[in-house]
Amino acid sequence: SMHVDPHAPWPNCKLSQLASIYPSKTFKPMAPQFLHLPADILRLVAMHILNDDGTFCKTQCLPMSSTTMTKTIVALRCSCRTWMHVVDSLLDWHLHLELDLILQARSTVELQISDVARNQDQILLAFTYRAHLAGSPVSTPPIFVLDSIAMGRSASNATLDANPSSPLPVTVHHGVPCDSPFVRVQLDDQSVHVPRDRIRSLKLTFRRCSMDSLADSGLDHAPGLANLVACLAEWLPNIAVFHQLAVGLPARAWARAPWASTLTSLRVCVSPDWDNVATSLVLPSMLDLRIDSATGTTGNGPAIRTLPVAPRLQVLFLVVPFIHQSLLIHGLPQFAGTLQQLTVKRCSVVDDPAVVAPTQMLLWHQLRSFRGVVDVFNALIARSASFAEVAEFPALQSLSLFKNARTVGLLPPLLPRFPCLVSVQFVQMLVTQSFLSSMSAVAPCLSSLKLHKCTLALASSPLPSRLTFPSLTKLGVYGTQTAMDLAELLDAPCLAHVEWCVNDPLTAPAIPWPSVTFVSIDNFGYMGGPVKISGAQLDALVHLTSLHLPGRDVEWMDAAPTLRTVTHLQTTAAALATFPPHALPNLVHLEFMFLEDPPFRVLPAAATHSLRRIKGNLHPNLIEQLARMPKIESIGRHRVDLEDDATLPEWTLDYSQGHAVWSSVPRMELTGRIADQFVVRVVSVQDVAKAVSEIERMVEWVIKGGQFEEPLPVEVHLVDAVDVVTGRRLLAALAGVDECDLHGRFLAVAAVPSSAGSPRLRLRPA
């Protein structure tokens, strides 16, 4: 039987409309045979629903932004106790508190709730009254009524002062004891009770205006923040995920927090006392750790030297301006046995001659991804006894190396073996030919290579040796000269995906690999004239199916290509107009580059027989052409634009019931008059009522977009293929007259502009 408890805990954190998650009154009990399935099978069904959009995999919390998934999983939970236990075993709650710091007379900083006690000797920290649910799309944020820490006028003494040992405030809010096991989430007149022990994820953020007030005050906020964390840890004892942004959190708060044993994911900003406390901080369950700097990667600050003890750490993300050499020598190696992802974002390494590296070889046998400055990577691979005997990174699959602006950033002269490496990216590096040759030898499975603003230093011999990458399938290069050099030297028999970003000169290099199926050519805003491309070289790629042309003018060095094998094309209206009529005979998908692009005007004649999907700004003439193309399935909802053309004397559309033009075009933006007269050629119709609705909707769209004040002349023609009886019913319905009063296969009516708020136009005989 169905059991619904309005005060029961509901598994969610991201709430859009609370009322929609309650079961309807007509909800029917579930078939008993389904409930007799083993619990493991029911869990798999629930997991399949939760993983439908991939969001649950990242947060382990139910996202309310996915309406269908939310209604499904909550309806299952409400159906019976069996499903309630299954769903509850999978879901946790996420709490997002956004705090306001208000500066009072430049002597006190407090967190805004309602009426907070004014204390001139301390920084007052409590929960904000405007704390909201993460990701809520509603205009008015729902309010957290925190029953354990009272809010409102009755909580004037419920402040978290600078004394970190102070107990949790004992106060009452609306008669609810402060030790209530629930938090009530309130939105309008609806409320849901969340059990405190099921809140496993917490995000603490500060509004930017609050940060500015805090910085201008010059007050020490560390004691208050430390006490805030202590109170949160007491109030929410089962937190496993904690993200705190924008403010340096005192590390001593974590040294005492009971969360240390339960935390699996932590993101914090470092504070000046980080190095003094981090080594004594033990996080036995930590899997994902991100350490940020309040000043970002461009600011100044002390170099961090130490990291907490985390024997199970799998993901480490460092976003700090400086790290000390001792962190690389003694801090990172403690994670060599468990770390899977390491990111060190654009920091500088501070060298210290006094730091001596151990002599024993270090094996990073779990590391799958490294992304960071090359100096850090060089330090990691330096501890090896013999590159020829041992694979130092046996599991590494992705490698991205960056040059820091403060250092030279040289690539290592010797490389360990990477038996599983499939993706490599270099950014703003000096890459030598010998290095790439070594990379091809130590990474036999390499399938993706990207060089972004890199300089390729060729060998000094008159005829440089070839570079062979037998498994390479994807190549991306930013820089014309580097792309030209690789086009001459690279042997890649399996290469399928090529991306050129040209700068100086604006000439696309040749693509000599016949196996290529995807080509992207762009300049990413580099000025200097049109991008020059050889149409003959593109036509020589007999397996090419997808082509992305630059988002600016294209100049064909010989002649425009025909691209007979291309099925997907991304281009501009100007470039599309250069193709000959017999080009693109197998085109299926056409897409424009930018929202501000001029509209597509016309398609090559050969493409009209195969095109199924188009996305971009459209000229009315092209819409006429699309309406005559029976294979069109989808039209992107962007803008209909005459550009600088004069208003058309007549706009004619073929009406075929079910065609995408009639369902998609009225949803597009129209801000000008298309034509002085609208003509509809009815080609096929089965449902007269639907046809009337679609035609009237199109007429209304033309009138509203063109801001017509006088009646719009509309002509409706029935082609010979339309059944006489059906056609007569359609014309009579459009004209609003009896069928007996109509003769022939033609109707001329006047569409009267609708009054404000009227949902539909009224057609009348002209």
DSSP 97-138: EEE-EEEETTTEEEE-SSS----TTS-BB---TT---TT--S
Q: Read off the pTM.
A: 0.75
Residue 287 lies in a domain: no
Which one, of 136, 190, 146, lies nearest residue 15 by Cα? Answer: 136
Tens digits of residue pLDDT in 303-355: 888 888 899 999 999 988 888 888 888 888 889 889 999 999 877 787 777 76
In our burial notation (b when 16+ CB lie closer than 10 A, e otherwise), range 287-319 reads bbbbbbbbeebeeeeebbbbbbbbeebbbbbbb
Residue 628 lies in a domain: yes
DSSP 304-327: B----B-TT--EEEEE-SEEEHHI
The one-letter code for the residue type at 99 is L
Boundary (domain end) residue, out of 615, 643, 671? 643
The DSSP output letter for 299 is: S
More confident residue, 57 or 648: 648
The whole-angstrom distance between residue 204's C-alpha and the CA centroid of its chain comes to 22
Residue 158 lies in a domain: yes
Q: Which helix (H) or strand (E) holds 613?
A: strand 613-615
Q: Is the pLDDT of residue 359 over 70?
A: no
Q: Is the pLDDT of residue 280 over 70?
A: yes
What's the average model confidence in pLDDT over 713-727? 88
Q: Of the ranges 360-369, 469-478, 620-629, which one carries the lowest mean pLDDT score?
A: 360-369
pLDDT number for residue 440: 92
Q: Is the pLDDT of residue 573 over 70?
A: yes
Tens digits of residue pLDDT in 483-528: 999 999 999 999 999 999 998 788 999 999 999 999 999 987 666 7
> Tokens representing 38?
């083993």
Q: Are residues 35 and 143 in the same domain?
A: no
Q: Is the pLDDT of residue 267 over 50?
A: yes
**Band of residue 759 on the pLDDT scale cut at 50, 70, 90:** very low
DSSP 217-258: H----HHHHHHHHHHHHHHSTT--EEEEEEEE--HHHHHH-G
Domain extent for 590? 562-643
| In contact, 633 and 614? CB cutoff 8 Å | no
The backbone region for 398, taken as left when phi is positive above 0, alpha when psi lies in -120 to 50, beta otherwise, is beta
pLDDT number for residue 103: 42
Q: Are residues 137 and 57 in the same domain?
A: no
The whole-angstrom distance between residue 482's C-alpha and the CA centroid of its chain comes to 30
Spatial separation of the C-alpha atoms in residues 81 and 85, rounded to whole Å: 6
pLDDT number for residue 148: 32
Residue 83 lies in a domain: yes
Q: Are residues 679 and 605 in the same domain?
A: no
DSSP 59-108: HSB-BTT-HHHHHHHHHHHHH-HHHHHHHHTT-BEEEEEEE-EEEETTTE
User: Which residue is listed with tokens 């799958």?
Assistant: 368
User: Which residue is listed with tokens 């006894």?
Assistant: 385
The one-letter code for the residue type at 441 is A
Residue 489 lies in a domain: no
Percent of all residues in the chain with a pLDDT value above 90, rounded to a whole number: 29
pLDDT number for residue 295: 58
Q: Is the pLDDT of residue 139 over 50?
A: no
**Band of residue 597 on the pLDDT scale cut at 50, 70, 90:** confident
| In contact, 392 and 364? CB cutoff 8 Å | yes
Q: Is the pLDDT of residue 186 over 50?
A: no
Strand-pair category, 546-548 with 101-104: unpaired
**Band of residue 298 on the pLDDT scale cut at 50, 70, 90:** low
Q: CA 450 → CA 400, 422, 486, 668, distances in Å?
A: 9, 12, 11, 38
**Band of residue 684 on the pLDDT scale cut at 50, 70, 90:** very high
**CA pseudo-torsion sign 304, 308, 311, 317:** negative
Q: Are residues 64 and 131 in the same domain?
A: no
Spatial separation of the C-alpha atoms in residues 489 and 141, rounded to whole Å: 58
Residues in a beta bridge with 465? none
Q: Of the ranges 178-182, 491-495, 723-727, which one carries the lowest mean pLDDT score?
A: 178-182
pLDDT number for residue 102: 45
Those residues with Cβ within 8 angstroms of residue 11's Cβ, 6 or more apart along the chain or in another chain = 62, 73, 74, 77, 87, 88, 90, 91, 92, 93, 198
pLDDT number for residue 282: 85
Q: Are residues 610 and 632 in the same domain?
A: yes
Q: Are residues 126 and 235 in the same domain?
A: yes
Q: What is the dihedral of CA 672, 673, 674, 677, to 10 degrees?
A: 170
Q: Are residues 630 and 735 in the same domain?
A: no
Q: Count up the domains in the chain and report the number.
A: 4
User: Which residue is listed with tokens 């269908």?
Assistant: 68
Residue 260 lies in a domain: no
Residue 467 lies in a domain: no
DSSP 376-428: HHHHHHT--S-TTT--S-TT--EEEEE--TTS--PPPSS----TT--EEEEES
Tens digits of residue pLDDT in 203-252: 777 665 555 555 555 555 555 566 667 667 777 778 887 777 655 666 66
Residue 577 lies in a domain: yes
Q: Are residues 231 and 134 in the same domain?
A: yes
Boundary (domain end) residue, out of 583, 610, 643? 643
Tens digits of residue pLDDT in 436-477: 999 999 999 999 999 998 888 887 766 567 899 999 999 999
The one-letter code for the residue type at 237 is P
The whole-angstrom distance between residue 63's C-alpha and the CA centroid of its chain comes to 15
Q: Are residues 107 and 237 in the same domain?
A: yes
Q: CA 605 → CA 10, 651, 654, 760, distances in Å?
A: 57, 20, 18, 37
The one-letter code for the residue type at 110 is E
Strand-pair category, 265-269 with 315-319: unpaired
pLDDT number for residue 570: 94
Boundary (domain end) residue, out of 211, 243, 275? 243
Which one, of 736, 670, 745, 739, lies nearest residue 708 by Cα? Answer: 670
pLDDT number for residue 50: 67
| In contact, 449 and 476? CB cutoff 8 Å | yes
End-to-end CA gap in the chain: 63
Q: Are residues 720 and 656 in the same domain?
A: yes
More confident residue, 723 or 135: 723
Q: Phi, psi at residue 539, to the nearest 5°? A: -65, -25
Which one, of 623, 618, 617, lies nearest residue 698 by Cα? Answer: 623
Q: CA 295 → CA 320, 323, 324, 518, distances in Å?
A: 8, 14, 17, 41
Those residues with Cβ within 8 angstroms of residue 378's Cβ, 6 or more apart along the chain or in another chain = 410, 412
More confident residue, 675 or 52: 675
Mean pLDDT across the chain: 74
Q: Are residues 669 and 637 in the same domain?
A: no
pLDDT number for residue 69: 60
Q: Are residues 63 and 160 in the same domain?
A: no
The whole-angstrom distance between residue 389's C-alpha and the CA centroid of its chain comes to 42
More confident residue, 146 or 337: 337
Longest dimension (CA), the chain: 103
